[in-house]
Amino acid sequence: MSYRSEELLISLIASWLGEAGHVAVGAVSPIAGAGALLASARSNGHMRVSLLGSTRYSSFTEGGRELFDCAAQGRIDAFFLGGAQIDGGANINLVGMGGYPKSEVRLAGSFGSAYMYFLVPRVMLFAPEHTSRTLVERVDFISAPGTSPPEIYRPGGPVALLTDRCLFEFDRGSARFRLVSVHPGQTVTGIIENTGFDFDYSDDIPTSQTPADDDLALIRGEIGHAIAETYPAFAQRLMNTAA
């Protein structure tokens, strides 16, 4: 069965989440949200998913405030973060580009990204546009640092970076990314050419696992209908579900 690029990412996110107990997904994150719901479906509902903006998949009555409380109490196992820029140290930039404080481009801001980055044990960075403009040698502004000095208490941090070209894992000890798979149609050479930072890789990089037919059926059915509550246009356009 053929698949869309978004469906590949959704499937990879679900596989990465594995058996996490409680997965939280922030605002404007339809692909991550669908991936979390697919992982929950694979677990027969044993995984709890909290989607900001959802009434069906969130018990929070105060939105982000309660999400932050859960993270501080150690009750969130996995979370997702993105950035207009991400560098090789897993630092992210959500503030602006081109010389802060007089940035040429001002962005939406950090909100609680640094807070969640420090507290959630497994954070996946997500970059739907894998170019050297987004994946840079050094971010222009550190909204949230990828690593911290050893004397800083930090139970949380990045463990992976998923892009529209490949999947990286992050080693907090060396503060470096390692390429673990390339998506179908991509090459290691192409990844290097489109990445602004150095990363580790072996001589034999596997191709990312493509979605199984059962997963595609779930994505286009049960998951599509579920995510439509929060992201109706996404569900209708990409998953053949009614808005």
pLDDT in tens, 139-166: 999 999 999 999 999 999 999 999 999 9
pLDDT of residue 191: 98
Residue 10 CA from chain centroid, whole number: 10
pLDDT of residue 105: 84
Torsion of CA 142, 143, 144, 147, to 10 degrees: 0
Taking residues 110-134, report their average pLDDT: 95
Within 1-88, residue ranges assigned H as helices are 5-17, 30-42, 64-72
Taking residues 158-181, report their average pLDDT: 97
Domains by residue range for the chain, with CATH: 5-83+114-131+153-239 (3.40.1080.10)
pLDDT in tens, 48-92: 999 988 989 987 767 678 889 999 999 999 999 999 999 999 999
Phi, psi of 182 (to 5 degrees): -115, 140
pLDDT in tens, 194-239: 999 999 999 999 999 999 999 999 999 999 999 999 999 999 876 6
